[in-house]
Amino acid sequence: MSLRDLYQEIIVDHGREPRNFGKLMNANHCQAGHNPLCGDKLMLYVLERDGIVEEARFEGVGCAISVASASLMIEAIKGKSIVEVEQLFDLFHHLVTEGRESDVNIGKLAVFGGVVEFPVRVKCATLAWHTLKAALTNNTQPVTTE
Amino acid sequence: MKASVTKQVVDFGRLCRDFPILQKTNRGKTMIYLDSASSAQKPYQVINAIADFYMQDYANIHRGIYELSERSTQLYENTREQVKNFIHAAHADEIVFVRSTTEGINLIAQSFGRPRWQAGDEVILSTMEHHSNIVPWYMLKEQIGIVLKIIPIDDVGAMDIETYKKLFSSRTKLVAISHASNVLGTINPVKDMTAIAHAHHVPVLIDGAQAVSHMPVNVQDLDCDFYVFSAHKMYGPTGIGVLYGKKPWLDTLPPYQGGGGMIETVAFEKVTYTKAPQKFEAGTPDIAGVIGLNAAIQYVQTIGMENIFSHEQALLNYAEPKLLAIPELRMIGEAKPKVGVVSFVLNHIHPHDIGTVLDHEGIAVRAGHHCAMPLMERFQVPATVRVSFGVYNQEKDIDTLLSAIQLTKRLFA
């Protein structure tokens, strides 16, 4: 397992220059996520219409893995239906905790395949996804990884 | 087994052989342990002392009338005497065995503070305190309405003594400060700060968790009222710590927890308690932990606390200029004097990512807020990387660290 397998170019790139970063004024789902152990924090904004994620943005601070995960997640979910987003959540979760890619193509998200070798970093990779899940179920409590 | 020393000259290069875990690998690489401020590794001398105790001398203490229990009790009480000598207390019964530094502070908050303070009474803390010296006082704020007054620190990480002097009022009941900072390394002028507090007739509690294994400590010279520390940061076992309290205080404090071993007589109508320190040691204590603490004190005393201080200062003097020469590196905590702790951040690279790269290179450091969130806030960083030294570290560990930092920079370039 090399460090490059964990820190693939795409992760380093999105970690340093996250896409879809900032507030989304017309969001109809807002959700805070927090990893109290390491202090990673994010605020996720989602605009959902007729069961489709039309737009999403985020802001926050964190390590390369958590920031890149939020950035790439938003790229992946835009235009997807809530059902598709839930499927992606399961696939992503499986990827970083079990390490096996299923037959389903998850696109760029596959770059997180190295995380499984670093169990303490799994929470970094999944924070954005847990926050998203809570946002879509309109959970008003801040999400924590604990 | 004696520590690997010859008379006054200590061969620190050989000391790492006393630590079996340091012979292991970390992610397939030679283990470089630079996280002693979190917890120190354990030498054979401590591990064997605990195993020997369980195999040869173990029984409950202060209870049996048989030889084995007498022997166990004697070893336990001998350690109290030994701790007294180690921190230069006046009496062995000023030494209370607790679970940890954290429990020692909670004991003082609940047995000293809670019964005698009222809403509006004040406790002085500092910005650089560990959560263990913040939260017990915050809980008293919630329970009885005390007020926390905070000593600010300057940009290099030193206490602002002039502001400290102005924080005292007629309502000030206690000063609770760390001897050395777990993040900045700053060794605070606790003797002077104690004198200032005493001039206002205010007692002082010192959190010695980061000091006691790195430098000689003399509680009578400091003149502090309470001093707390943990065994696990000084090469001893987890689960055991020490609360030192001046005898007149301990004699007047009510018990912390109730149970066996801390009573004279028990009737449903009336219970009478034993004297300090047993009054504060309810239930069967961590006897083997105390025996391990005994071995740990012997271990550091055989090396010599002055020698340990010099060794770690030499490592600090070797590491700091080399780290500061890295243009992207910002050191958090540049006050002098310091214990062997260096905290830093590296431009846009998050401390957790640095920690992962270092781990991959075999190096164990702490990356995070170090249970000091107010201090992170003070320096406007979410987290830092912290490197901390112990007796087993050598200059080559720092060389490995420096190359791993270069690797990190390349990876995130």
- The pLDDT value recorded for residue B6 is 44
Q: Is residue A119 part of a domain?
A: yes
Q: Is A60 on the interface with B (CB under 8 A)?
A: no
Chain B interface disruption, residue of A7, A41, A61, A67, most B CBs within 10 A: A7
Q: What is the CATH number of the domain that holds A33?
A: 3.90.1010.10
Q: Is residue A86 part of a domain?
A: yes
| pTM, entire model | 0.93
Query: What tens digit of pLDDT does each residue of B307-353 get?
Result: 999 999 999 999 999 999 999 999 999 999 999 999 999 998 999 99
Chain B interface disruption, residue of A9, A37, A38, most B CBs within 10 A: A38
The CATH number of domain B5-43+304-411 is 3.20.20.70: no
Q: How many CA atoms lie within 13 A of B303 on its CB side?
A: 33
| Residue whose entry in the numeric block shows the structure tokens 């201080």 | B309
Q: Contacts of residue B412 in chain A, CB cutoff 8 Å?
A: 7, 12, 15-16, 64
| Number of separate domains in chain A | 1
Q: Is residue A142 part of a domain?
A: no
**Domain chopping of chain B, boundaries:** 5-43+304-411, 48-301
Q: Contacts of residue B376 in chain A, CB cutoff 8 Å?
A: 39
- Give the distance from residue B350's alpha carbon to the nearest chain A alpha carbon, in angstroms: 5
| ipTM of the complex model | 0.89
Q: Is residue A25 part of a domain?
A: yes
Q: How confident is the model at residue A139 (pLDDT cuts 50, 70, 90)?
A: low
Q: Is residue A141 part of a domain?
A: no
Query: What tens digit of pLDDT does each residue of A2-26 get?
Result: 888 899 999 999 999 999 999 999 9
Q: Is residue A146 part of a domain?
A: no
| Residue whose entry in the numeric block shows the structure tokens 């009737």 | B267
Q: Is residue A64 part of a domain?
A: yes
**Residues B33 and B392 sit within 8 Å (Cβ to Cβ):** yes
What residue numbers bound the domain in which A23 lies? 3-136
Question: Mean of the pLDDT values across residues A30-36?
Answer: 91
Sheet holding B384-388, edge to edge: B329-332, B341-346, B384-388, B366-368
User: Cβ–Cβ of A3/B412 closer than 8 Å?
Assistant: no
Instruction: Please list the active-site residues of B.
Output: 371
User: Cβ–Cβ of A12/B368 closer than 8 Å?
Assistant: no
Residues in chain B with pLDDT < 50?
A: 1, 5-7
The CATH number of domain B48-301 is 3.40.640.10: yes
